[in-house]
Amino acid sequence: MHATDNLLAIKGLKTHFFIREGAVRAVDGVTLSVPRGKTVCVVGESGCGKSVTARSVLGLVDEPGRIVAGEIWWRREGGEPVDLASLDPKSEQMRRVRGGEISMVFQEPMASLSPMYTVGAQLVEAIQLHLPLDKDQARERAIGLLRRVGIPRPEQRFDAYSFQLSGGMCQRVMIAIALACDPALLIADEPTTALDVTTQARVVDLLRELQADTGMSVLFITHDLGVVAEIADEVVVMYLGTVVERGGVDEIFHDPKHPYTKALLGSIPRMGAGTRQRLTTIRGNVPHPSDRPAGCPFHPRCDSAIVGVCDAAEPPDVVLGPGRTARCVLHEHDRSSLKEVRI
């Protein structure tokens, strides 16, 4: 795959929070890419920097955080590539990208919608912000979008308030708002976490259908490997602010390289493995980024850690093939002939 096939390419991103006690290195050298028309899942335990990475793309990092290093290349069709990391988050150009070219769906649909306005009014507002449509045209498009995200009787639901809808319906409305401007990239940050299991599955199916219909790219953030198996083309595994492994979904599930990926996979039940399968837990907890261990950040929890090596030096980011990397000293000798990480 050529680098230009990537709609989004993040290279060496560092986003730190500057608090009284010092710098919290929430994202500390993330490299990943999202190819056109593909779904990339970012997976990892809570606190590993998934959301901060996503928010960095859209210039939505809360104070006292800021991007301190790295590049975020946005390469929309027919446009000049632009490094979003270099833009002022409040600039007109960033505002155009945010919501106009890249949309985001968050974890808490109820909290994202205002209880003061009908869902229709909020949808119309999002449409008119980015498209030159009058009120009637925007209403028509809004009802079409509500229908498209599977909301029954969309003409009536247009006039409903968020508190009159279930969590699943609210998330469908949020997805409709995100689709209002035909984004080239949809970033979905744990969009199903707040929903019950059946509703989660429906929302994942919806996102998969919409991706296939529209050809948009999706950056899907989750800690749920079951969802990853269903929706991902490519997977990025994060640990403590860094990417520890990247690869195609089959490679990650059937041939994981990094001990952390193996441990994550060992902690989920497998279909067809029977009721007596042994599930392992990853020992210990993810440390806080301000308490990052020296060397490989995973070494205190890693069963394969080598004393004097893994606790002493940062592991190399080994390129195993196109779009396939593992940040682990155990794979240093498996390097592919590629000389650098292609993003």
Ligand X SMILES: Nc1ncnc2c1ncn2[C@@H]1O[C@H](COP(=O)(O)OP(=O)(O)OP(=O)(O)O)[C@@H](O)[C@H]1O
Q: Give just the sign of the alpha carbon dihedral 79, 80, 83, 86.
A: negative
Percentages (nearest 5) of helix, strand, coil residues in the chain: 35, 25, 40
User: Binders of ligand X among 277-296, rule CB under 6 A?
Assistant: 288-289
Residue 99 binds ligand X, judged by CB under 6 A: no
**CB closer to ligand X, 123 vs 227:** 227
Residue 167 binds ligand X, judged by CB under 6 A: no
Residue 47 binds ligand X, judged by CB under 6 A: yes
Q: What distance in Å separates the CA atoms of residue 144 and residue 134, rounded to the nearest whole number? A: 15
Least distance to ligand X from the beta carbon of 16, Å?
9
User: Hey, what are 28's tokens?
Assistant: 């500390």
Per-residue binding letters, 58-97, with ligand X (x by CB under 6 A): ----x--x--------------------------------
Q: What distance in Å separates the CA atoms of residue 83 and residue 103, rounded to the nearest whole number? A: 17
DSSP state letters, 111-122: HHS-TTS-HHHH
Q: Which of 6, 14, 17, 218 forms a contact with ligand X (CB under 6 A)? A: 17
**CB closer to ligand X, 46 vs 336:** 46
Q: Which of 8, 26, 34, 176 forms a contact with ligand X (CB under 6 A)? A: 26
DSSP state of 131: S
Least distance to ligand X from the beta carbon of 51, Å?
3
Least distance to ligand X from the beta carbon of 288, Å?
6
Contact 77, 62 (CB under 8 A): no
DSSP state of 309: T
Provide the binding-site residues for ligand X, judged by CB under 6 A: 17, 19, 24, 26, 44, 46-52, 62, 65, 223, 288-289
